[in-house]
Amino acid sequence: MIIDLKGCRTEPLASYLKALGVFRLVAEQKDPNVTGWWIDDAFRIETTFSSSDIEAFLLKEYSPTSILSPWNNGSGFFKLDKEINWIMVNRDKRFDIYRDDIERIFRAISDKEIKKAKDEKEGKNKGKTKKEGGNKDITIRWCRNNLSESAVEWIDAVCVIGNKIQYAPLLGSGGNDGRLELSLVFIRALESTFEGFTSTEQGELLRHALYGLAPNTAAGSKLKSGFYDPERVGGINQLSMPDQEAKDVTPVNPWDIILMFEGLIMLSGGLTKRSGKALSAFPFTVESVPTGGETVAEDAAKGNEIWAPIWVEHATYDEIRSFFKEGRTSIRQPGFGLRDARTSLEFSYAISSLGVDVGVNRFSKYGLYVRRGDARLAVPLGTVDVRHRSMADTIKEVLPFLNELNRNLRVGSAPASIQNEVANLNASVHRAFEQDQGMVNVVTGLGSLVRRFENGPYRIKGRDVPSKPPRFLSLKWLEWLQQLEDSVELRLAASLASLSPRAPISANILPVDENKWIDSSSSIAWYGNSLSDRLLNVLQKRIFMDKTGEGKPASLEGDLVVDPQDVMSFMLAETDDELLEDLLLGLISLKWDRHRIREIQGRWLTPMQQRPVLPTYVLIKTAFMPSELPGGVQIKGRYEITQLLSAGRIYDACEAVRRRLAYSQAKVSGFDPDKIEGKRLAAAMLIPVDRRRFLQHANRLISFPSSY
C-alpha cells in the first residue's frame, strides 16, 4: 500500500529529518521491505501495512532510540532532571532498553567510571591527554563500549571516535544546540506525547505530523525543536534549557520532534581515508564557503552545510541507509585519485559531474550558521538538480585556488575587500556548476579578486595567501567561453592576456615573476584613472623595456590575435570597459599552450561585426606591429608616438608615422585624421591583431616598397 506522507516535506530540515525517521522506524521495527521515495516535495512509502496500521505501530509499539548524552553537563545525570527520572519510572516495555542504559550510566557515575565534564570556565585543557578531551571524551568512549546498540546509534550520529573525537556539525559539540541539551528535548517530547495527551489527541497529533492534517486539539507543548526548524525558533527570550518556561516559543507537535530525532540517526558518521590519514566524515556534510548572501550569521565562512539528497526512485531502507553511510560524492584529485568532497564548492562539482548514485535527482541545501552564542540556525539555501554538465571538469580548475583562500579565511582575517571578492567568486562558481552558463561570471569574479593583489598576497598567520599567483586555468576555458558566451570584450581580453609569454602582461599588473610572488617589480604599470590609461601605461612600459633592454625582452606579439574590426568596438568606446578589464585580469590566470590555441584562433578571426576600420587606427598601428612590415619597412620612435597620442595630438602623431614611413619609401594616401580620443587610440595599439587581415586594410592606405 502506498502512503503519502504530506506532512514530511523536503523543507525545513526538521521536516526532511522527520521523513527519514518514519522510514527508519517502519523499516527497523515493522516492515523491513518498505520502500520510500520523494514526489512533489513530499515523502511517500510503500508497505504491506495500511496507514492505520502504521499509526497504530507508532502509537502503541514503537520503541524509542536510546538517546542519551551523559558526557554533557546538562544531560540530566549530574543534576537529576525530571526527563531522565520519567524514563526510569516508566514501566512500559517499549522503554526497557532506554531504562537499562540509564541505569548503566548511573552505576558508572557511582563507580567513577564516568565523571562530570570540566566546565569551560575552569579551562578547556585541564585534565586532558593528547588523545583525549578530558572527561567528556572518556565518557563518550565508555558509552560506546558499554551501552546498548540503540544508544550506540545515537553516539555515532553525534560523533566519530578516532584518536581524536570529531563532532557532527548537525548535532553541535556533542548533542546540543548551544546550551540546549538535545537528548532532554527528545525525552520531553516522548513524555509530552504519551502522558500529556489522551489517546485520541495522540492520534490527531500523529496524523498532523505524518499527513499535515490539522488536529482538533491544540498542537501542543511548549517544546523546542532546536535549530532544525527556523520558523519555530523563539525570540530574544527563547529557551536555553528544556525545563525553562516557554514564553516566546511556538507550540510544537511533539511527534515532529520525536520523528525528527529518529531521522537524525541516519546521518551517523564514520572514518574515511584521505591522503593516507583516517578522518571523520558525516554524510552530505561539508564546510560552507561565504557567497555574499548570508544575513543570518556574522561568520558563515566558519559554518557547515548539509546537502540533503532527494531521490525519486523506489528504494529500500537498506539501500538508502547504505547510501547515507557511504555519502558517495566523490571528486578526483590529481595524484590522489578519488576523495570525498569537503566543501560546498566541491560538492557542487561532484553532483554536476554525476559523482552521486543514480536515483538522486536533486539536493536540498541547508546552511548551519551561528546565530547567538553557540546556538545555530539551519537556513534553507535552495535546491540543486543533479545533472551532468560537460564544463564541470573545466570549472573545477579554479577550486584549488579558492579552497586555499576559503581555508585561510576560516582561520584568520583578511581585508574586507578581499573577503567580499572571495565570497562573490564562490557564488559565481556555485552558479556555474549548477547552470549551463555562467563561466564568464567566474572569470570576471576571478579578475575582480586578482585586482586586490596588486600589492602582492596578504598575510595570515605568517603565510602568503594565496601562496602562488593565480595561473592555473587551461585553454579549455577559452573553448567553453567561445562556445557559450562569446563577446567582443572576451576576445579583446583574451588577446591582451596572451601578450608575449616571454614577458607576460601579468608582470605589468601584479608583482610576479614566472609563477611566484616577488617583493617589488619595476615592470608594473597597471595604474591610471581608466582602462585606457592603464593599457596606455602598460604599452609605454613594454616599449620602454624593449628600448632599454631592461629585464626580459618585451614585445607586442600575442599568441591569440583578433580581427582589426573587433578592435573598432574598443576604439569607438562601445565596449563595457569594466567587463573587459575584469575579463583581462581573470584571463591572466591562463596557462598558454600554442598547440591548443589554433582552433580557438580560427573561430575568433571572424569578427563579431562587419564594420569599417578607421584609417587613423591603421596608420598608427603600422608603428606598433610586432613583426616587420612589407618591403622591410620598420618604424622607430614608438614611445614618442604614444606621448603625442596621450596628449591628444592625433594629427601630430599621424604626421610622425607618415614621415617615418616615407623614410622607408612607403607612401601614405591623403586622409584626414578621425576625431577619436587620443588615449583610447594609443591603448588600442596594445591589442594584438592578425597580421594578414591588418595588411588588407593597410594596403588600401599605404603603398609599401615594391620588394613586397
Helix (H) or strand (E) holding 194: helix 182-196
- The CA angle 542-545-548, to the nearest 5 degrees, is 150
pLDDT digits (tens, 9 = 90+) for 656-687: 999 999 888 899 988 788 889 999 999 999 99
pLDDT digits (tens, 9 = 90+) for 25-64: 999 999 999 999 999 999 999 999 999 999 999 999 999 9
What average pLDDT does the chain have?
A: 84
Task: Please state whether the predicted TM-score (pTM) of the whole model is above 0.75.
Answer: yes
- Phi and psi dihedrals of 611, rounded to 5? -160, 160
- Cα 70 from Cα 147, distance rounded (Å): 12
pLDDT digits (tens, 9 = 90+) for 521-556: 888 999 999 999 999 999 999 988 776 555 455 678
pLDDT digits (tens, 9 = 90+) for 280-309: 478 888 888 888 754 433 444 568 899 999
Reading the block at residue 344, the C-alpha cell is 560546498
Measure Cα distances from 152 to 93, 159, 582 in Å.
20, 10, 54
- Cα 61 from Cα 53, distance rounded (Å): 11
**Three-state SS string across 437-452, please?**
CCHHHHHHHHHHHHHH
Q: What is the mean pLDDT of residues 252-278?
A: 78
Q: What is the mean pLDDT of residues 417-439?
A: 88
271 vs 176, more confident = 176
Percent of the chain with pLDDT over 90: 49
Least confident of 232-246, 471-485, 498-512: 232-246
β-sheet bridge partners, residue 378: 368
Measure Cα distances from 568 to 241, 574, 615 in Å.
70, 8, 11
DSSP structure class, residue 612: P
User: Which amino acid, one-letter code, is at 457?
Assistant: P
Instruction: Give the DSSP per-residue string, 292-358.
Output: S---S-TTGGG-EEEEEEEE-S-EEHHHHHHHHHHT--EEEETTTEEEE--BHHHHHHHHHTT-S-T
* Most trustworthy range by pLDDT among 78-82, 177-181, 369-373, 529-533: 529-533
* pLDDT of 100 higher than 90: yes
Confidence tier at 155 by pLDDT (50, 70, 90): very high
pLDDT digits (tens, 9 = 90+) for 402-420: 999 988 887 777 788 888 9
pLDDT digits (tens, 9 = 90+) for 207-223: 999 998 876 655 455 56
* pLDDT of 467 higher than 60: yes
Amino acid 594: pLDDT: 72
- Cα 583 from Cα 489, distance rounded (Å): 8
Percent of the chain with pLDDT over 70: 84
Q: Strand pairing of 375-385 and 360-372? A: antiparallel
- Cα 346 from Cα 309, distance rounded (Å): 16
pLDDT digits (tens, 9 = 90+) for 326-366: 765 666 655 445 677 888 898 888 888 765 665 788 999 99
- Cα 157 from Cα 579, distance rounded (Å): 48
Reading the block at residue 487, the C-alpha cell is 563577446
Instruction: Give the DSSP per-residue string, 348-409.
Output: HHHHHTT-S-TTEEEEEEEEEEEEETTEEEEEEEEEEE----TTHHHHGGGHHHHHHHHHHH
Least confident of 471-480, 581-590, 668-677: 668-677
User: Which amino acid, one-letter code, is at 441?
Assistant: N
- Write down the H helix ranges in 221-284: 254-264
Count of C-beta atoms within a 10 Å radius of residue 328: 18
